[in-house]
Structure 1
């Protein structure tokens, strides 16, 4: 598995050393390029495997539900929880997710028969209602600095289905880009299952990968 991904990651790294400046992703000459495989390391489990330009495992996601999940965890290579992604309402027309730092398993308090999460989310991601009503809308989702934050911090535009998305901040700078990677390694075509995540310096690559996981839940 990693033989294929390591070869692909090297090709991705070489390509992005001369990244087109008009994309604004690498205008300052520094970015992180990750290869994302839409496959879990665990057999019979959905998820993601993410490696860096040297072929080292950096992030992983294991989704045991096999599809739409109420909660997902982004882990590092050692299996440590970095982010917990919690869906607000599974059957709602518009997806709404809270992003918590670390593992929230120990951050509940008992309130009678229900358990209430006491940790506050560090991010709140809301699917664009226009995207639900109009399939040609270019805005996919909005990112806020918490559930009660009224000011949008980032906008996600493009098409996740075609692996062509950009995360744009409020000064109209592209800070993250998802790009399709056409490559054949060992005679195997990866298609849409393997793609490139380019993260501009100063933006957390872990959170960028968390956004990928949420886009996958929203649009797959």
Structure 2
């Protein structure tokens, strides 16, 4: 398959885990439920409608927390909003941990106030945070964004909104995300959930 302009063929790039890296493009649908039901705030499916992940929120906690759960019900990672920071900052931890030893990555807005979506992502071993390992650019208002590797023009995933009469009637947002070959799709899903929270959530 021809690679889109601005990308290169990578070796597998596991962030959450190697099992989430496929040698071919992966299309996922992220369905946000506006009316929060007991089965999760978000449901993530593949092209055939098979469940991949759910995202559940933890209410009444000091920190906003979201837990990414796989199709078998196992917690994959926990997203935690770090309060008392100038920039909106989220941390992702392995499983249901919030221990810094289990930190996978940190994502923060590049400016305190921003009109366009811009998110910088730092992997756990990038402690000085001088240069991001990934960046997200786009317009959340248009439900369109592109995720790049580092400061390069190499695209690792793209998101756009998909609307249908049914989704409007049921009060749901659906984001379609194309994850490029060898990119960790669990990591990409986590970034989209963080973006939604930063940009107003509900």
TM bracket (short chain): 0.7 to 0.9
Query: Residues of 2 paired with 1:203 and 1:95: CA distance?
Result: 25
Which residue of 191, 195, 198 maps to 1:211? 191
SS of aligned partner of 1:152: coil
Greater share of helix: 1
Unpaired segments of 5 or more residues in structure 1?
1-16, 106-116
The corresponding residue for 1:74 is 68
Which residue of 116, 129, 146 maps to 1:166? 146
SS of aligned partner of 1:214: helix
State the Cα distance separating 1:122 from its structure 2 match.
1.5
State the Cα distance separating 1:75 from its structure 2 match.
0.6
SS of aligned partner of 2:186: helix
**Counterpart check, 1:97 vs 2:90:** yes
The higher relative CO (CA closer than 8 Å, separation ≥ 6) is in 2
Which residue of 104, 121, 127 maps to 2:109? 127
SS of aligned partner of 1:79: coil
CA RMSD of aligned residues (A): 3.4
Contact 2:24 2:182 in 1 (8 A): no
State the Cα distance separating 1:161 from its structure 2 match.
2.9
Which residue of 123, 131, 138 maps to 1:145? 123
User: When the two structures are superposed, what TM-score results if normalisation uses the length of structure 2?
Assistant: 0.76
User: When the two structures are superposed, what TM-score results if normalisation uses the length of structure 1?
Assistant: 0.70
Q: Deviation digits for residues 137-190 of structure 1, max 9, x if unmatched?
A: x452100112614231111000223210110113311111111124345x9667
The corresponding residue for 1:111 is none
Contact 1:25 1:175 in 2 (8 A): no
Unpaired segments of 5 or more residues in structure 2?
10-22
